[in-house]
Amino acid sequence: MASDSLPARDLLEAYTGQVRLRVCGLLVHNGTLLLTAHRGLLPDARPFWSPPGGGWQFGETIQECLRREFREETGLEVVVGRFLHLHEYRSDDLQALELFFEVTPTDPTAVPRLGSDPEHAADAQLLTELAFVSTRQLVVLPAPQVHPVLRQIISTDDVFIPQVRFQR
């Protein structure tokens, strides 16, 4: 596929050199977390696992943003619950403040499906996979492949303990 050959810098160009506010949702189902795998963030085409979410757009409430992002990335309609985490992300090219909320699907029988990101062309999608991932699966992955908010969790109950993390 042609998209596999795009350099990471090209994939992330839309996000470099600016500060972004991202809104993300933590959905727990049967002791697992719904996560998306992203490409372009790590060397050697390794996936980066993160909760669904994305950039807050002008004119939206934060809750509207999260519902839109979940619809785009997972096909699910969700109810946005309580605020859980604040995370600051900084690298040489990227900078974001991320807000994490508890979410529940409006239809508990709905099955998520991998969606797409409308900001990217079909051959330049960052999302590569959508999966319910257990904490046991997360702890065996190399730390850089797991979102920092999820790196230290032992059980899915841990995601509901509010925290603030600043990354250097």
pLDDT band at 63 (very low <50, low <70, confident <90, very high): very high
Neighbours of 108 (CB within 10 A): 7
Res 19 pLDDT > 90: no
With cut-offs at 50, 70 and 90, classify the pLDDT of residue 16: low
> For residues 116 and 65, which has the higher predicted lDDT (pLDDT)?
65
Burial call 132-164: b when 16+ CB within 10 Å, e when fewer: ebebeebeebeeebbbbbbeebeebeebeeeee
* Residues paired with residue 127 on neighbouring β-strands, in sequence order: 38
User: Domain extents for the chain?
Assistant: 2-166
pLDDT-based confidence at 159, cuts 50/70/90? confident
Q: Specify whether the CB–CB gap between 85 and 162 falls below 8 A.
A: yes
Degrees (nearest 5) of the Cα angle 36, 42, 46? 65
- Bigger pLDDT: 43 vs 25: 25
pLDDT value at 2 more than 80: no
Sheet (strand 95-105) strand order: 53-55, 19-26, 95-105, 78-90, 163-166
Listed in order, strand segments (DSSP E) in the chain are 19-26, 28-29, 32-38, 48-50, 53-55, 78-90, 95-105, 127-134, 163-166
For the chain, the average pLDDT equals 86
Residue type at 23?
Answer: V
3: pLDDT strictly greater than 50: no
- The per-residue pLDDT for range 85-141, each reduced to its tens digit, is 999 988 777 788 999 999 999 999 999 999 988 877 788 788 999 999 999 999 999
64 has a pLDDT exceeding 90: yes
Q: Report which secondary-structure segment, H or E, holds 140.
A: helix 135-140
Q: Alpha-carbon distance 40 to 46, whole Å?
A: 8
Average pLDDT over residues 28-47: 90
Contact of 96 with 22, CB cutoff 8 Å: yes
Q: CATH top-level class for 2-166? A: alpha beta
* pLDDT for residue 7: 46
The residue among 31 and 165 whose pLDDT is bigger is: 31
For residue 11, pLDDT over 60 is answered with: no
